[in-house]
Amino acid sequence: MKPYQQILILECGEPLVPIPLERFAVESPHPYQKLGATYQERSAYHLRQNVLHCLLQAQVKLQQHYPNWRIQIFDAYRPVAVQQFMVDYTFAQVVTAAGLTQSKLTPAQRKSIWEQVYQIWAVPSLDPRTPPPHSTGGAVDITLVDDTGNPVNMGSAIDELSPASHPDYFNNSDKPVEQQYNFHRQLLWDVMLYAGFQRHPGEWWHFCLGDQMWAYLTNQADPTKSVMARYGSIA
């Protein structure tokens, strides 16, 4: 169990609503659907109502500085079944990259690979007390696109299993190109923080509002607070 999963959830019943895709930049088809993930009858491009409202606020803030830039939504609501698919897919990718064979992994190798996978992926838990953040509709993976419609270079890819995924990875670099990556990450963080979001400590692209991680990070930032999560898992 990760620390944020100890936060109590008091489900507020706020609906999951479709994201108006014309307001943002999106990938089509959805990145995980291209890999074979199935979302059943519900599109991946959904969020809790207030989370969507705040995401729109963040984009307004962004456009005050860069009028023709937009937030690009990589992933939003994610059923637990899709979480399981992506965890298994990532495990297989790590095995292949290491030149190994799943059926021949030793217990130590298997344990090491799972530790790598769970650095960025939440456990696909069906326990209502420990839902994966994206399965609550309160988490969103995003980046930025510039005024030409091209993705802004953040220095690493979304879902990349590497130290460069850490938001502050380029903080102290003296290389101009890496300083630019850091500037872009900070810009994204600034507009999302303005709108009330918290950012995953290990992922520059993952932002949350209303879920357990958001509550935990809010409490960590201000120990005088005792915020609870208001979004639980949506089947």
Instruction: Point out the residues that are catalytic.
Output: 203
Closest CA to 83 of 48, 120, 116: 120
Question: In this structure, what token pair is assigned to residue 213?
Answer: 């991680």
Q: What angle do CA 184, 188, 192 make, to 5 degrees?
A: 170
Which spans in 123-203 are helix H?
A: 176-194
What whole-number distance in Å separates Cα of residue 18 and Cα of residue 233?
A: 17
Contact 130, 5 (CB under 8 A): yes
Cα separation values, 40 from 36, 198, 229, Å: 12, 29, 27
